[in-house]
Amino acid sequence: MSNATTTNVDLKKKATNPITLTDLAIVKVAELIAAEAADEVLALRVSVKPGGCAGFNYDMFFDSEFATEDVLREFGEVKVVVDTQSAELLNGSTLDFSDGLQGAGFHITNPNATKSCGCGNSFS
């Protein structure tokens, strides 16, 4: 795992460690951001939305707008942003990337999930 810095603009809020990226995930996210070729600063936004067969779904997309209460973590050149509600549900999670024939893509390991569905995209 890589070293990261955490910034939370609202210091009154409980400090969280919403998500850590593995080295493979950092490389892949950096590649995807570079492919966007945008002039703006992009961060990977990871959030949790209600839905799915188990109660919650993970959502990941590139974002250039950040709220003051967002939790920002930096993994070298890769920035990850999590809103405070999602941060509580993700606290201690790990984002990994695998590039194999089966199960290729990003995968979140969440120690807070009490159960997940068969597809692995939904949890409670």
pLDDT at 21 over 70: yes
Strand order, beta sheet including 56-63:
5-8, 71-75, 78-82, 43-50, 56-63, 122-123
Six-digit token string for 57: 């779904």
Q: What is the pLDDT of residues 74-117, one digit of tens each?
A: 999 999 999 999 999 999 999 999 988 777 899 999 898 876 65
pLDDT reported for residue 123:
53
pLDDT reported for residue 102:
78
pLDDT reported for residue 101:
79
pLDDT reported for residue 55:
78
Mean pLDDT of 51-80: 89
State how far the Cα of 66 lies from the Cα of 74, in Å rounded to an integer. 14
pLDDT at 41 over 50: yes
Confidence of residue 4 (pLDDT cuts 50, 70, 90): low
Residue-wise DSSP of 32-89: HHHHH--SS--EEEEEEEE-STTSEEEEEEEES---TT-EEEEETTEEEEE-HHHHHH
pLDDT reported for residue 11:
34
Mean pLDDT of 41-61: 86
Question: Considering the domain 5-115, what is its CATH architecture?
Answer: Sandwich (2.60)
Confidence of residue 124 (pLDDT cuts 50, 70, 90): very low
Domain layout of the chain by residue ranges: 5-115
pTM of the shown model: 0.77
